[in-house]
Amino acid sequence: MSETILVVNAGSSSIKFQLFAIVSPDRLERRLKGQIDGIGTRPRLVAKDANGSRVVDKSWSTEKVGELPDALDQLVLFLREYVGALPVAIGHRVVHGGPNFAAPTVATSNVVQQLERFIPLAPLHQPNNLAPIKIVLERQPQLLQVACFDTAFHRSHPDVADRYAIPEPLFAEGVRRYGFHGLSYEYIAEKLCEVAPKIAHGRVIVAHLGSGASMCALAEGKSVESSMGFTALDGLPMGTRPGQLDPGVVLYLISEKRMSAKETEHFLYHDCGLKGLSGLSNDVRELLASSDPHAKFALDFFAYRIALFTGMLAAALGGIDGFVFTAGIGENAPLIRGIVAERLSWLGVELSDEANEKGETRISRERSPVACYVIPTDEELMIARHTLQILRKNASIELMEKRA
């Protein structure tokens, strides 16, 4: 059996994981994809192999798997049973890397302490991303762990894109625009070279549309601007987050509605976005199936804001050669893609209705001045690749030290 790399994306009550086999020094093959969800309520492990066949479906009582460490223990037991050995390294998705972590980094105790500073900037993700790293550091300190950041890909931004119009000392403290979903955009930037080489090194806007949503402007395959800023609240409306918001609204909630900082944080992260607009759901599938006018309005608003941010990002690029839809909504909602494309006709987007309905890779007409694509993202593969690079680098350093 080949050596393996485990990729972990931990949430508040779930652990999503994928296992990749190292089949050559620079090639990986996906062997497993699964998750343990319902931690603390109805814990359940489900995993499928590379062919999509279910290899495990197991549930436990909350007494046995009531917390994240218990779930990690069960994941380790399963991997030992299924693979026969532990992975040689673990790659973790970490949402916020702050100003100093501009590349995947070996996750040491010192690194974790630095990353904990950014928990207030990503309260839904950061503490959950760091929790399994800390557990493994305690239990298997010899195992290589790599933190891969959603913010790192955007560190190529020019200063003018990353600054707010606030005093310099605050910028020096780290109050700046970071951008998120970088692992997804990095994958798309690489995939474009294969799928659409004519525009891969041109001016491309990528819309990562899921429960969390953002957009990114790519020039020469590098991020030059993003819709998200200091936190993952900014930019597009999302499932439960409002997106772009006048700071005065926050002041109003605190001063007039008498909300505490914690209440305001909970409201902005959990009660706004598509859920707040529709009053029904944060799930686009449910909104698309609903006949309620509020559901339609929420989706129209979502598409409208995507079109607005496209204009902003096109200005940052000085034009646009291509547009890419990705992530859950972007990959699976042709109606949303159609509404957005119609609003972008002024930029030169000419959609093929047939290709869009079929979910083909290219969904614009051949004559369209702006090529439009649907490209499934693969953040886990990016994490595995980064982890493999660091694993190989460490092995090379160790070999050189032995020879010295």
Query: What is the set of active-site residues?
Result: 150
Whole-number pLDDT of residue 292: 96
Task: For residue 189, tell me if it sits in a domain.
Answer: no
Question: Does 139 share its domain with 54?
Answer: yes
Task: For residue 93, tell me if it sits in a domain.
Answer: yes
Whole-number pLDDT of residue 402: 54
Last residue of a domain, one of 156, 180, 209: 156
Task: For residue 162, tell me if it sits in a domain.
Answer: no
Which pLDDT tens digit goes with each residue over 185-217?
999 999 999 999 999 999 999 999 999 999 999
Question: Does 374 share its domain with 303?
Answer: yes
Task: For residue 337, tell me if it sits in a domain.
Answer: yes
Question: Does 18 share its domain with 132?
Answer: yes
Which pTM value belongs to this model?
Answer: 0.92
Domain total of the chain:
2
Which pLDDT tens digit goes with each residue over 257-312?
999 999 999 999 999 999 999 999 999 999 999 999 999 999 999 999 999 999 99
Question: Does 229 share its domain with 147?
Answer: no
Whole-number pLDDT of residue 104: 96
Whole-number pLDDT of residue 1: 60
Question: Does 284 share its domain with 237?
Answer: yes
Task: For residue 301, tell me if it sits in a domain.
Answer: yes
The residue range of the domain holding 292 is: 195-379
Question: Does 214 share its domain with 322?
Answer: yes
Whole-number pLDDT of residue 397: 56
Whole-number pLDDT of residue 396: 59
Question: Does 123 share its domain with 19?
Answer: yes
Whole-number pLDDT of residue 67: 84
Question: Does 112 share its domain with 36?
Answer: yes
Question: Does 144 share its domain with 207?
Answer: no
Task: For residue 180, tell me if it sits in a domain.
Answer: no
Question: Does 229 share its domain with 362?
Answer: yes
Question: Does 203 share its domain with 310?
Answer: yes
**CATH number of the domain where residue 281 is located:** 3.30.420.40
Whole-number pLDDT of residue 61: 87
Question: Does 227 share its domain with 138?
Answer: no
Task: For residue 225, tell me if it sits in a domain.
Answer: yes
Whole-number pLDDT of residue 400: 47
Contact status, residue 104 vs residue 147, Cβ threshold 8 Å: yes
Task: For residue 400, tell me if it sits in a domain.
Answer: no
Q: What is the pLDDT along the chain (404 residues), one digit of tens a residue?
A: 689 999 999 887 788 999 999 988 888 999 999 999 888 888 899 999 989 999 999 999 888 888 888 888 888 889 888 888 889 999 999 999 998 899 999 999 999 999 999 998 888 889 989 999 999 999 889 999 999 999 999 999 999 999 999 999 999 989 999 999 999 999 999 999 999 999 999 999 999 999 999 999 999 999 999 999 999 999 999 999 999 999 999 999 999 999 999 999 999 999 999 999 999 999 999 999 999 999 999 999 999 999 999 999 999 999 999 999 999 999 999 999 999 999 999 999 999 999 999 999 999 999 999 999 999 999 999 999 999 999 988 765 554 455 55
